């Protein structure tokens, strides 16, 4: 665990960078309007700072491994030793270089296992800095919940060049190395210089093998688990995957799950939203909502790749990342194309997959610590509310292109897609009324885990 001193230091950095970015966004006004696709989102720099302080305050109350184990023992539904080990690794802020960043810092439970820092969500499009706090990634953290269900990455149709599966927004954790996409993914963040920044796997293994939970590591993986470092790094990955797949992270306990089991009724509004989701709004063509043939509850993704026409997010701090982004503001996220173009055999499919991203699950899209908490949506966090997302799917091709005098994003215009080449023509003009848009949002609200039916 980190000392108080270091956290204060992180707090100061966070605040300084928050203020710095704020000034850069809106130099003339003291109210920051998160311009990127946000309708009516206004937050003052003071509010952002107080939120940043809140966050650091929360961090201090982080549990020690011993406390986490004790808490698990008290639970009705205990995790298996392997899942618990994965949880301890996931929450361990000692596993970054320098120390201080855990997986949970970008994937927090209260936020549906996606980005939990509101200052980053408001000011930086939900894109997070790494353990080296001056470095930023290029994408928004997707949820880890239900991610282990992703099939391994593969070419699905050699004629159309359609791919399916894999982890990360561009599927580059394929499953080729450790057998599953999830296991290939799990060690990526440890070594990513923009995230946890360790020089190699051995360093991470050494940290786990000198942690206070090393006995559990040996109990799960054998008394000599620390001897072979390559195997130990794999075992760290498998432990994390067990946690991600556990009832703690992927529990299928939303109101919609209870509805599918016949345990609760949806309200009339939610029901209308569901009908639209599967009907007029065609959401379920990609975000599957029906029970599977095997009776399994839906994951709200078919794991294919698409581009709803998501605009570029000017707030993305990656544009100012000089060390890792030589293109600066001219950077365009190639999505799946960037992943497959490294394989000469797949290069012929690069063009058709330019700017496409993996369809994310919609489970927990609205899960937030409170109603005013801002989350970000899409690979670059362009949208800051579900209302905006649905309005975009509905009117992308109907409203004029922004940039004219009096234009306001999402109100009377939309920016062009970041990559127009492959923007899906089936969405963008759904013909939904305002009320129907609201119904869909009401339905999306039923997908948050932890629903407790009223007795
Ligand atoms: C600095 C923030 C940050 C940290 C720390 C971090 N992640 Fe992530 N995570 C991200 C981002 C951003 C992505 C998307 C990256 C991409 O697609 O290129 C991501 C993607 C993922 C995914 C893919 C989900 C999917 O559906 O494809 C999983 C799983 C995941 N992270 C788990 C972890 C684990 C496990 C750790 C700790 C070992 C971790 N993350 C640490 C930011 C972070
Ligand atoms: C043709 C496939 C397709 C259809 C139809 C579709 N989506 Fe999506 N959806 C995607 C893809 C692909 C992304 C990721 C795009 C990106 O990151 O730029 C996405 C992203 C999202 C997100 C962001 C989730 C997150 O975690 O960031 C939401 C919310 C969403 N879609 C809701 C909907 C709703 C509501 C509908 C119906 C009105 C819909 N989608 C229709 C493919 C689709």
Cis? peptide before 447, omega within 30° of 0: no
Of 119 and 9, more confident: 119
The response to whether residue 101 sits with its C-beta less than 6 Å from ligand 1 reads yes
Distance CA 93, CA 85 (A): 14
Residue 380 has pLDDT above 50, yes or no: yes
Q: How far is the CA of 16 from the centre of ligand 1 (A)?
A: 25
The response to whether residue 213 sits with its C-beta less than 6 Å from ligand 1 reads no
Q: How far is the CA of 56 from the centre of ligand 2 (A)?
A: 32
Ligand 1: residue whose CA is nearest its atom 16: 168
Distance CA 23, CA 233 (A): 42
Q: Name the residue of 91, 101, 108, 195 whose CB sits within 8 Å of the most ligand 1 atoms, as the mutation to test its pocket.
A: 195
- Closest by CA to 117, choosing from 109, 367, 126, is 126
C-alpha separations of 136 from 22, 130, 250, 357 in Å: 16, 6, 28, 20
Q: How far is the CA of 20 from the centre of ligand 1 (A)?
A: 26
Q: How far is the CA of 233 from the centre of ligand 2 (A)?
A: 34
Q: For residue 99, give every residue at least 6 positions away whose Cβ sits within 8 Å of its Cβ, in sequence order, or none.
A: 2, 6, 93, 131
- If you search the block for the tokens 């791919």, which residue do you land on? 163
Task: State the pLDDT at residue 53.
Answer: 39
Residue 189 and residue 172 in contact, taking contact as beta carbons nearer than 8 Å = no
Helix (H) or strand (E) holding 156: strand 154-157
Q: Name the residue of 289, 359, 414 whose CB sits within 8 Å of the most ligand 2 atoms, as the mutation to test its pocket.
A: 359
Give the confidence band of 453 by pLDDT, cuts at 50, 70, 90. Answer: confident
pLDDT in tens, 118-159: 999 999 999 999 999 989 889 999 999 999 999 999 999 999
Give the confidence band of 346 by pLDDT, cuts at 50, 70, 90. Answer: very high
Residue 20 has pLDDT above 80, yes or no: no
Ligand 1: residue whose CA is nearest its atom 33: 103
Ligand 1 atom closest to 187 (CA): 38
**CA 288 from centre of chain:** 18
Ligand 1 atom closest to 140 (CA): 12
Q: Dmax of the chain from CA atoms?
A: 69
Residue 203 and residue 97 in contact, taking contact as beta carbons nearer than 8 Å = yes
Q: How far is the CA of 254 from the centre of ligand 1 (A)?
A: 23
| Residue 163 φ then ψ, to 5° | -110, 160
Nearest listed ligand to the Cα of residue 437: 2
Angle (CA) 272-442-44 rounded to 5° is 155
The response to whether residue 445 sits with its C-beta less than 6 Å from ligand 1 reads no
pLDDT in tens, 273-329: 999 999 999 999 999 999 999 999 999 999 999 999 999 999 999 999 888 999 999
pLDDT in tens, 53-85: 334 333 434 788 888 888 887 777 789 999 999
| Sign of the four-CA dihedral 433, 439, 440, 441 | positive
Distance CA 41, CA 280 (A): 29
CATH code assigned to 149-170+252-447? 1.10.760.10
C-alpha separations of 279 from 72, 84, 228 in Å: 42, 41, 54
Q: Name the residue of 126, 274, 286 whose CB sits within 8 Å of the most ligand 2 atoms, as the mutation to test its pocket.
A: 286
- If you search the block for the tokens 């305002």, which residue do you land on? 434
Task: State the pLDDT at residue 141.
Answer: 97
Nearest listed ligand to the Cα of residue 112: 2
Ligand 1: residue whose CA is nearest its atom 30: 144
pLDDT in tens, 78-107: 899 999 999 999 999 999 999 999 999 999
pLDDT in tens, 186-236: 999 999 999 999 999 999 999 999 999 999 999 999 999 999 999 999 999
Residue 381 and residue 127 in contact, taking contact as beta carbons nearer than 8 Å = yes
Q: How far is the CA of 18 from the centre of ligand 1 (A)?
A: 22
Ligand 2: residue whose CA is nearest its atom 37: 283
The response to whether residue 287 sits with its C-beta less than 6 Å from ligand 2 reads yes
User: How many H helices and E strands in the chain?
Assistant: 15, 6
- Closest by CA to 170, choosing from 180, 149, 185, is 185
């Amino acid at each position: 665990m980190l000392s108080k001193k270091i956290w204060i230091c992180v707090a100061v950095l966070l605040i300084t960078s928050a203020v710095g970015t704020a000034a850069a966004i809106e130099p003339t006004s003291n109210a920051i309007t998160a311009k990127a696709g946000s309708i009516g989102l206004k937050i003052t720099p003071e509010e952002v700072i107080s939120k940043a302080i809140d966050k650091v305050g929360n961090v201090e109350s982080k549990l020690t491994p011993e406390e986490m184990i004790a808490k698990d023992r008290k639970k009705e539904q205990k995790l298996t030793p392997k899942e618990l080990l994965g949880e301890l690794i996931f929450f361990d802020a000692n596993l970054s270089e320098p120390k201080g960043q855990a997986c949970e810092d970008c994937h927090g439970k209260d936020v549906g296992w996606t980005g939990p820092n509101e200052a980053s969500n408001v000011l930086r499009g939900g894109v997070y800095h790494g353990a080296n706090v001056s470095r930023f990634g290029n994408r928004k953290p997707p949820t880890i919940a239900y991610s282990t269900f992703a099939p391994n990455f593969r070419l699905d149709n050699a004629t159309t060049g359609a791919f399916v599966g894999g982890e990360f927004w561009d599927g580059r954790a394929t499953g080729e190395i450790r057998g599953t996409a999830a296991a290939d993914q799990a060690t990526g963040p440890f070594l990513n210089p923009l995230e946890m920044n360790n020089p190699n796997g051995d360093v991470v293994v050494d940290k786990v093998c000198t942690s206070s939970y090393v006995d559990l590591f040996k109990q799960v993986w054998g008394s000599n688990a620390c001897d072979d470092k390559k195997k130990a790094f794999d075992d760290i990955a498998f432990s994390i995957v067990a946690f991600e797949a556990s009832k703690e992270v992927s529990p299928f306990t939303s109101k919609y799950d209870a509805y599918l089991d016949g345990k609760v009724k949806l309200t009339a509004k939610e029901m209308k939203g569901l009908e639209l989701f599967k009907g007029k709004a065609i959401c379920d063509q990609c975000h599957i909502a029906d029970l599977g043939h095997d009776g399994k509850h839906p994951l709200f993704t078919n794991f294919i790749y698409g581009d709803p026409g998501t605009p570029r997010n000017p707030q993305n701090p990656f544009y100012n990342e000089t060390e890792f982004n030589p293109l600066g503001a001219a950077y365009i996220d190639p999505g799946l194309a960037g992943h497959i173009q490294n394989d000469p055999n797949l290069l012929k499919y690069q063009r058709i997959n330019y700017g496409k991203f993996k369809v994310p699950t919609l489970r927990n899209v609205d899960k937030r610590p409170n109603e005013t908490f801002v989350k970000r949506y899409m690979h670059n966090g362009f949208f800051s509310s579900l209302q905006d997302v649905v309005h975009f799917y509905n009117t992308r091709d109907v409203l004029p292109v922004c940039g004219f005098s009096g234009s306001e994003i999402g109100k009377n215009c939309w920016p062009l897609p970041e990559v127009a080449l492959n923007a899906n023509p089936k969405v963008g003009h759904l013909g939904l009324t305002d009320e129907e848009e609201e119904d869909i949002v009401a339905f999306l609200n039923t997908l948050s885990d932890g629903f407790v039916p009223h007795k």
